[in-house]
Amino acid sequence: MYKGLLRWNATKDYSYFDELDGRAHTGLYKDYYFGADGRSKRWTQNIEGNTYYFDGSYKMYKGLLRWNATKDYSYFGDNGVMVVSNFVTPTTNKTYYFNNDGHSLRWLQTLGSRTYYFNEAYLMHTGWLRWNADDTFSYFETNPSSTDYGAMYKGSRIVNGVSYDFGDKGKITSSVYHNSGILHGIDIYSGTGDAGINIATIPADFIIVKATQGTTYVNPYFQQHARETLAAGKLLGIYHFVDTTKGALNEARHFVNTIKGTSGGMNYIGKATLFLDWENNDVTGQNNIDKGPKYAKTFLDEVSRLTGGVKPLIYMSKHVTGESYNWKEVADAGYGLWMAQYLYKYYNNGVNGHVDNPTLIYDDASDNQKEWSKPTLYQYTSRGRLPGYSKELDMNVFYGTPQYWKYLASRR
């Protein structure tokens, strides 16, 4: 008398004969399902009101399963039962919701009294989300311990210490989101490195590091300062100083190859907001500004193409935004403005520490400023001092949140 698991050579399925009386088992037994004929079954099986899945070897499946036909998912618990109408977090920070058919959902979903968003990969989104169709923003609860984890904020709520009115639709406008905070930071180059700046201890929300100039120069401190910025938990920016004698496409390729770590070093694409420093070279006397917006846009477009969609911002003095140059095509293409304007009260005697909300004079009719509604960053002095560093620094404010900075660093 045979006892135990038996595989039939002809059909390659199984039967299980009881260890005591030798009778063939039917129903669920030892991670198999045996039909009324005592033969093992595979694929999807409905058993006593529950759904199970048995793989090609007839074994009960447990865990996350992706369906080849529909590319969505189902989840089978430790007992093999398909999860229905519930959330599952199989691994940290990866949460799915399975409908009453046991299949994962994506996009915007109202579940009970709460609204959630699941991305293209069916994963629940948390934190800020930008709606491309109308350029609005929503926020989804990020605390895994909260009963509202993943739920869209509606009405008056506080995010990272800032109060927002999301209304009954859970959205705020782009202008509210972008201007909901002010971050303080500095921009640095090789001379700052020579002077021994300590990135970890300098009080700043963001550090913008010079990477390249022209088509051959690389700041010898670039990799060090960029790594230290991220290691310190600060927001990272990276800029290229223009040299219009080299050709916009050539400059863009040199910049991107450097920040991608093509010749060694870390790949910073997606980790840093990118900038083009559009100004004349006071050392060599090279006049870059007169090359105009066409050269700048060629550079910006090429960087965006080479990085897969990261849109750099452009740095220039206020007077350059308002002279005879027409920056409309650059602004309309989504390249933001980092503007320098040194008012006497921040420059003549310098400043000690960050200025909370420095005076900004922009949109002057006399200066014909119209392409950008407002700078995204404002450099208000080159004579700032911060604790722990003995020399003067360029001081900047960023009009936005850390999330918005990271959005600018992303492919879009």
DSSP 85: S
Cα Rg of the chain (Å, integer): 29
User: Mean pLDDT, the chain, as a whole number?
Assistant: 91
Per-residue CA distances from 378 to 252, 296, 362, 391 (Å): 24, 19, 10, 20
pLDDT of residue 193: 65
pTM of the model: 0.62
| Structure confidence by residue, pLDDT tens digits, 258-281 | 999 887 789 999 999 999 999 988
Per-residue CA distances from 231 to 202, 207, 227, 271 (Å): 13, 12, 6, 12
Q: At what angle do helices 248-259 and 292-306 cross, to 10 degrees?
A: 40
pLDDT at 342 over 80: yes
Q: Give the tokens for residue 318.
A: 């206020």
Burial level of 392, CB count in 10 A (0-12/13-18/19+)? middle
pLDDT of residue 162: 74
Number of Cβ atoms within 10 Å of the Cβ of 27: 11
pLDDT of residue 180: 64
| Structure confidence by residue, pLDDT tens digits, 304-313 | 999 999 999 9
pLDDT at 10 over 70: yes
3-state percent breakdown (helix, strand, coil) of the chain, nearest 5: 20, 35, 50
The tokens 């003995």 sit on which residue?
390
Sorted by where each starts, the structural domains of the chain and their CATH numbers stand as 4-61 (2.10.270.10), 87-173 (2.10.270.10), 183-409 (3.20.20.80)
Q: Residue 186's beta-bridge partner residues?
A: 207, 395
* DSSP string of 329-366, one letter each residue: HHHHTT--EEEE---HHHHTS-EES--SS-------GG
How far apart, in whole angstroms, are the C-alpha atoms of residue 404 and residue 385? 26
Q: Find out whether 254 and 212 touch, Cβ atoms under 8 Å.
A: yes
Instruction: Name 12's Cβ contacts closer than 8 Å, sequence gap at least 6.
Output: none
